[in-house]
Structure 1
Amino acid sequence: MDALYDQIGSGYDATRKPDPYIRDKLKALLRPVEGERYVDVACGTGNYTLSLAKAGVRIVGFDASARMIATARKKGRPSSHEGFVLADVGQTPFKSAAFDGAVCTLAIHHFPDLMAAFCEIGRLVHPVSGRLVLLTALPLQMKRYWLCRYFPTMLRRSWEQMPDMEKLVKALYVAGFPHIDTEPYEVTETLEDLFLYSGKHRPQLYLDAGFRAGISSFANLADAGEVAHGLDQLAKDIKSGAICDIIRSYSHKGGDYLFIRADR
């Protein structure tokens, strides 16, 4: 993951910004207590770390990408006491039970060993009252993205690296988070954080190379030929209006992403 995000990190913040709704939902699920300490796992350039800090959460962020952390540090410190830390999720420099809870946004599919990562997070948070809040996508959700029509190989590779619910539950249970609640999240037209399916209602976004550059699937999992062909067909469907029917044909009620709150 560190090499991938070192590669795309230079222009990452051009399109990847903290979305207010997602920030507020993360905070609501985390239920932070004033004075307690929290951690943003695989924080990237610190967008949500700093946004949560501004919302009153005492939080520190860490990431395995040196470029991402360097960018985060240029933005400031999430608290007066702590900054951003360069660390791998499998082995962090923090003391056991150093935090009262953790958040992780759209990153678990990059963990080389999900079980080891969750166990390390379990070590970091309070053994009785600790909580982990995740935003991720399930393979079943991704199979319903209309992007599959234009970039089938890229989407297949994308959902194949996503842990399914069974694997997530097992890893969370082993890590000491047996109480799990989920809440589907559906992309809106006003979404400000431009991740993979953020263009669900704005298909023209995918025609922008700058937009695609901030998305790991396009940066790491896509074949140039498929992307070129898919973009050409997408542009034609946008121009003709056919994209409206295509988007409707992929509609479903299972959500596009999933919030997960896991408690001790």
Structure 2
Amino acid sequence: MSKADLTKQPDQVAAMFDDVSTHYDRTNAVLSVGNAALWRIATTRAIDPAPGERILDVAAGTGTSSAALTRTGARVVAADFSAGMIEVGRARNADNPFIEFAHADATALPFDDDLFDAVTISFGLRNVVDPRAALAEFYRVTKPGGRLVICEFSHPPLPLLRRAYFAYLRYGMPVLARLASSNAAAYDYLMESIRDWPNQTELSAWVRAAGYERVAYRNLTAGIVALHRGTKPLSAPVRTNDHGSTNEGE
């Protein structure tokens, strides 16, 4: 069984998700105590997909979130770094003509500039080796005036709840993972990655630094998850980011 560590090496992360791909959605439902579906609904509403729009769903996994986005007639590219996830997703969504699956690295997306009306990622930015490079790529492929929506685990602002939540991650989740997952060890990484992930304010600063404006976040489930949003300016100067590629900025 494969388990990534906090260096988040792409081959380790991909192998870990390949291992859990078959039972991934079921395990998420169990470990989130049923909240995963509610978080997906909130994310879909925030994206507000319209008929004919083209949306990029990064770290789309098996395409569960992508399928929800197509119900209004939007066309979705479901991108993921795990070949196993893509294989399962293609099989499950074979009858949905509005989803296209693509093998892609979030830090080097194989798409043209200014292509998507919306870019979204749910519970995947935390697993990217360089999240700020990924945000720069999201900005590059977003159309001017287009939107970014990130749904990610975060830090409950209330100290008592935060302590209880991290106690669950440390002691409760491993027990449930052994019962529900094909690779329980992978969920040790999940606990570690959530604990070390920046809080809501810091992630908002990263989104703003990537070039998005009107940046805001909303806590879900008392801050266990946060929904971050931003909009790409209609016109902005071209600049070079720290990773050597060009993108538009403030």
Q: Secondary structure at the match of 1:33?
A: coil
1:197-236 residue pairs with structure 2 within 5 A? none
Q: CA deviation at 1:82?
A: 5.1
Deviations 1:56-90 (A, max 9, x none): 33211100000000111112258636520011101
Q: Mark the runs of 5 or more structure 1 residues left unpaired by the alignment.
A: 187-253
Determine if the alignment matches structure 1 residue 257 to structure 2 residue 233: no
Counterpart position of 1:216:
none
Greater RCO (CA < 8 Å, at least 6 residues apart): 1
Paired positions, count: 196
- Counterpart of 2:113 (choices 91, 96, 105) is 96
Cα distance between partner residues in 2 of 1:33 and 1:148: 37
Q: Which has the larger radius of gyration?
A: 1
Structure 1 residues 31 and 156: alpha-carbon distance in aligned structure 2, compared to 1, 3 A threshold? closer
Q: Secondary structure at the match of 1:112?
A: coil
Q: What code does the residue aligned with 2:127 have?
A: H
Q: Does the 8 A contact of 1:87 with 1:93 survive in 2?
A: yes
Q: What code does the residue aligned with 1:258 have?
A: A
Q: CA deviation at 1:257?
A: 1.2
Q: What code does the residue aligned with 1:168 have?
A: L
Structure 1 residues 181 and 123: alpha-carbon distance in aligned structure 2, compared to 1, 3 A threshold? same
Q: What code does the residue aligned with 1:30 have?
A: I
Q: Does the 8 A contact of 1:58 with 1:79 survive in 2?
A: no
Determine if the alignment matches structure 1 residue 167 to structure 2 residue 179: no
Cα distance between partner residues in 2 of 1:19 and 1:65: 20
Q: Percent identity?
A: 28
Q: Secondary structure at the match of 1:97?
A: coil
Question: Which is strand-richer, 1 or 2?
Answer: 2
Q: CA deviation at 1:5?
A: 0.4
Determine if the alignment matches structure 1 residue 147 to structure 2 residue 177: no
Determine if the alignment matches structure 1 residue 68 to structure 2 residue 85: yes
- Counterpart of 1:51 (choices 51, 54, 68) is 68
Counterpart position of 2:177:
none
Q: Does the 8 A contact of 1:59 with 1:78 survive in 2?
A: no
Q: What code does the residue aligned with 2:148 have?
A: L
Counterpart position of 1:130:
146
Counterpart position of 1:10:
22
Structure 1 residues 63 and 78: alpha-carbon distance in aligned structure 2, compared to 1, 3 A threshold? farther
Q: Does the 8 A contact of 2:156 with 2:224 survive in 1?
A: no
Cα distance between partner residues in 2 of 1:78 and 1:26: 23
Counterpart position of 2:179:
none
Q: Mark the runs of 5 or more structure 2 residues left unpaired by the alignment.
A: 1-12, 30-34, 175-187, 233-250
Q: CA deviation at 1:16?
A: 4.0
Cα distance between partner residues in 1 of 2:197 and 2:95: 29
Cα distance between partner residues in 1 of 2:132 and 2:58: 15
